[in-house]
Amino acid sequence: MPDVLITKGLRAKLKERNIMFFPRMKVGHTIRDTGQGFEQASQHPADQIMPMGSYSYSLCSFAPCASIGRFCSIGQNIKVFGAKHPLDWVSSSPVFYRRRRFVKLTSQPPATPMPPHISAPLPVVIENDVWIGDNVILRDGITISTGAVIAAGSVVTHDVAPYMIVGGAPAKAIRSRFPDALRDAMLDSEWWLYNVTELQSLPISEPMAFLDRLGDLIHKNALMKRTRKEMTLQELIDA
């Protein structure tokens, strides 16, 4: 992942697209470019571009992460499980499946071919309107579904269902944010695909009334869905 220098020109392009960083970046700062796409109106940690959707923020960088949806709130010190070790072998040590490590530690090649083992962690997927508290550890390869909430300090080892609040180590379901029917209606509405300036005028603190008003506007063709439109940092530099 190359480092990109923040110039006056690049900073102006970022500002024009409402792309922010925390802590605030200055000209001359460098940032890691993962090559992943992100949307405008998003806030990134100052050390790395994250694959963020609009209106989302993350106070830290973490990897591997395939995508982060819209309207997500991600705290500090988030980590993803590292390399995977075989649990059903005689030994879980990488000296038995990493040739380079074997050679370095024994100064000789292995006598027989080593059994294959994929140790690289799989990327996590974070959907829309997810809130992750500080100091959370995520198992690699899991999906945090739309509307989920993860309590601070949790260790999440499985997928998290939509609109479910989980916490603990390992994390367990605490409760759903909404009754099943309302949860399903929220998911069916796909409200996160609409512009925040249009949503702001709706009763956001009253979910049922919000859905009623949203449905009326959709029925009148007064709202248009805004599908995810990503750019990469290099595309922004070249623009």
- pLDDT number for residue 114: 97
Q: What gap in Å lies between CA 9 and CA 28, rounded to an integer?
A: 11
Print burial letters for 146-170: b (CB count within 10 Å at least 16), e (below 16). bbbbbbeebbbeeebbbbbbbbeee
Q: What gap in Å lies between CA 234 and CA 45, rounded to an integer?
A: 18
Concerning whether 85 is annotated as a catalytic residue, the answer is yes
The catalytic position among 29, 85, 158, 219 is 85
Say which residues have a Cβ less than 8 Å from residue 45's Cβ, sequence separation at least 6.
21, 22, 58, 59, 60, 61
Q: What is the pLDDT of residues 36-49, one digit of tens each?
A: 999 999 999 999 99
Long-range contacts made by residues 24-27, C-beta under 8 angstroms, separation at least 24?
none
Task: For residue 1, name the pLDDT band (cuts at 50, 70, 90).
Answer: low
Task: For residue 2, name the pLDDT band (cuts at 50, 70, 90).
Answer: confident
Q: What is the pLDDT of residues 185-235, one digit of tens each?
A: 999 999 999 999 999 999 999 999 999 999 999 999 999 899 999 999 999
Q: What is the pLDDT of residues 5-29, one digit of tens each?
A: 999 999 999 999 999 999 998 899 9
Q: What is the pLDDT of residues 92-119, one digit of tens each?
A: 999 999 999 999 999 999 999 999 999 9
- pTM for the model stands at 0.94
Say which residues have a Cβ less than 8 Å from residue 17's Cβ, sequence separation at least 6.
40, 41, 231, 236
Print burial letters for 35-45: b (CB count within 10 Å at least 16), e (below 16). ebbbbbbbbbb
Q: Looking at residues 145-156, what average pLDDT do you find?
A: 98
Spacing of C-alpha 115 from chain mean position: 33
